[in-house]
Amino acid sequence: MTKEQVIMSLGYPMTNENPRLDAPYWRYWWSSWGEYKIHWNGAGRVKEVTGHPETVAHMLAQGHAAPEPAPASATPAVKKTATKPVSTKKGVTKDATAK
């Protein structure tokens, strides 16, 4: 994104914290405690967004905020267990994990 596109998306940064628009980063706030910074590359485009991970996740589009998922071979297999009905004292049946 360009600086103009960031301004259209988020508004101008606060002037008391960002006195110059040509600074290497702009400081924004998601909430009272949720600060994040937009860092610029030499061409005036977004290089990275830094801050608390939860705050950054709110600011970035889903699918772009997280790193690439691990390959399927690196994910441990999940063992599925069968369920069987279990009777309670009142005759009501519920599912329980088989042991």
Mean pLDDT, all residues of the chain: 79
pLDDT at 53 over 60: yes
- Contact between 27 and 13 under an 8 Å Cβ cutoff? The reply is yes
- Would you give the end-to-end CA distance of the chain in angstroms? 54
Max CA separation in the chain (angstroms): 73
The answer on pLDDT for 64 being more than 60 is: no
| pLDDT level of residue 16 (50, 70, 90 thresholds) | very high
- How far is CA 22 from each of CA 2, 44, 45, 87, rounded to the nearest angstrom? 12, 8, 11, 71
Burial-class residue 47 by CB neighbours within 10 Å (0-12, 13-18, 19+): middle
Q: How confident is the model at residue 12 (pLDDT cuts 50, 70, 90)?
A: very high
Asked if the model's pLDDT at residue 79 lies above 80, the reply is no
- Does residue 96 carry a pLDDT above 70? no
Instruction: Give the rounded distance of the alpha carbon of 25 from its chain centre.
Output: 20
